[in-house]
Amino acid sequence: MSEPTRAVGYIGLGNMGAPMATRLLERPGRLIVCDARPEAVEPFTTAGAEAVATPAAVADHASVISVTVLDDAQVRDVVTGPDGILSTARPGTVIAVHSTIGDATATELATTCRAKGVDLIDAPVSGGAPGAQQGRLAVMVGGSDEAFEAVREPFGYFAELVIHAGPVGAGTRMKLARNLLHFVSFTAACEAQRLAEAAGIDIRKLGKVVRHTDAITGGAGAIMLRDTTAPVADDDPWFSILSHVRNLGEKDLALALDLGERFDVDLPLGTRALAGLGTGLGVGTGPVADRAAHQKENA
């Protein structure tokens, strides 16, 4: 079977997975989709994709399988669980994990898969849902040369940039480095707003200036939309948005700090960002930061 027509599978049709898989509907060849929610699958079957009930069933049909689920535990279940991909995958199958997980999880799962002749690559993405919708994501691939070549063609439907970061684990390390910058900059923006507010500056106008230049250079102005740095009330529409940002930030910062510790790289602003991101955003610390603070107190 030629590369452009080989069947591709997609598991996890959430905020990122759905727009990425939607781009694959434009691709020649079969698209096999799987999600626990029938309402997530329905638009894809209407558009011509084939839906199956389990990751194992995806592997029955597809030789390249993208996975976009929530966290390490869900990735493990999708790959090695009772109805997981490995239970039916044929040798030569490539599993691409787009979720941001620990690099150690990626390398461990890749070793397990390799014993069955299956390649698992870590392939986290950058660019968010808008980038996926536009087909402009950046994908950072950790895996063998052969596996990278197998995914370049299908990834090209949702990504403008597909980078071979190195061996398995390197894609996640690159994503963590990129997201360290991303989430540390959010914390710095909160600090800048506090300084400007104390100095009598209209922080909405400051936000306009930052967003103007960030539209040219990129930056942290995307969160500078509120008219105060005061804590956000639970019933404020901003609360769910900023809590989501906090949860993503704390998860990725904790992963990046773990990576820095293992490679003996001091990340003081990363440490500060993990402790202060939620409070700076006005929604309080999340479970990851609370757990880190508790561990520090008991160290």
- Domains of the chain listed by start with CATH number: 3-167 (3.40.50.720), 174-294 (1.10.1040.10)
Average pLDDT per 10 consecutive residues for the chain, totaling 299 residues: 72 97 96 97 97 98 97 97 97 97 96 98 95 96 97 97 98 94 88 90 94 82 89 96 94 92 91 94 94 85
pLDDT at 4: 53
Q: What does the DSSP assignment read for 170-197?
A: HHHHHHHHHHHHHHHHHHHHHHHHHHHH
User: Which residues are catalytic, by number?
Assistant: 175
pLDDT at 2: 42
**What spatial distance separates the first Cα and last Cα of the chain, rounded to whole Å?**
57
Eight-class DSSP state of 3: G
Eight-class DSSP state of 223: G
pLDDT at 297: 83
Eight-class DSSP state of 128: H
Q: Which residue, 141, 80, 110, 124, is CA-closest to 256? A: 124
pLDDT at 1: 41
- Judged by DSSP in three states, 276 sits in helix
